[in-house]
Amino acid sequence: MSKFMKRGYLALVLLFLYVPIIVLIVQSFNAGVSRAKWEGFSLQWYERLFNSPSIMNALYITVTIALLAAAIATVIGTLAAIGMHAMSKRPQGVMLTLTNIPMTMPDIVTGISLMLLFIFTQVPRGYFTMLLAHVTFNIPYVILSVMPKLKQMNKFSYEAALDLGATPGYALRRVILPSVMPGVITGALLSFTLSLDDFTISYFTTSPLVQNLSTLIYSEARKGIKPTMNALSALMFVALLVLLLAVNRRASLAHES
């Protein structure tokens, strides 16, 4: 009985989470505008979606910022993790705590803090400030992904490479990076995924003239949900689902190795 109740509870939770998404995806193929009546199968909303200049521009901004933020955050986060790993135990613990704080704070706190920083420094909000914001909140996730691989690595490998005549840069490229590469890739994929669907931080660090998909959907939703938004949301869900599966698969493989 207890096992049946646990499975039933889990099924109810999954239904509560995914039934609205399934309804949204189904409605994106509805030929009519009404969400209460099925008027036939159609791809017209997807066609209108790809023919919309505002949505295509938002898609371009979303993808380019996600790619750039993931690349920059991966480089900075990997180097930071390597530096922190070389510290003694107490300073390393302090730095790990400081890098974990942004992940535990609500996104709205981070977004408002960055917005106030840009206003104080008189930096016009737009594409550049959104990119900086995304890099900022992605770095801790890269550090979190790389640090376990550094701890698994033989701590004498780097010193042995130096003793054999390798320069620090060569040892970094040939010894450390190959050992932590699974964590680096996981951090990059996670950063890209988080940046792709971020709304709160993007909303506070950009201007109305520069919108990614999440802020565009929010602004359009205030005017009334259009069927093209159903199509856009369906595509975003599928894309993020594929990325999350890739991240989880990479993380499980890295853990097994």
pLDDT at 42 over 90: no
The pLDDT-based confidence of 38 (bands split at 50, 70, 90) is: confident
Longest dimension (CA), the chain: 74
Q: What is the pTM of this model?
A: 0.81
Which residues does 58 contact at the CB level (< 8 Å), separation at least 6? 211, 212, 213, 215, 216
What pLDDT is attached to residue 1?
Answer: 55
What pLDDT is attached to residue 65?
Answer: 94
d(C-alpha 132, C-alpha 66), whole Å: 11
The pLDDT-based confidence of 140 (bands split at 50, 70, 90) is: very high
What's the mean pLDDT when you consider all of the chain?
A: 84
pLDDT digits (tens, 9 = 90+) for 179-235: 888 889 889 988 988 898 888 999 999 988 888 888 888 887 777 777 888 888 888
pLDDT digits (tens, 9 = 90+) for 99-135: 888 888 888 889 999 999 999 999 999 999 999 999 9
Domains of the chain from N-terminus onward: 52-256 (1.10.3720.10)
**φ and ψ of 212, to 5 deg:** -90, -175
Which residues does 243 contact at the CB level (< 8 Å), separation at least 6? 189, 192, 193, 196
What pLDDT is attached to residue 177?
Answer: 84
d(C-alpha 80, C-alpha 64), whole Å: 24
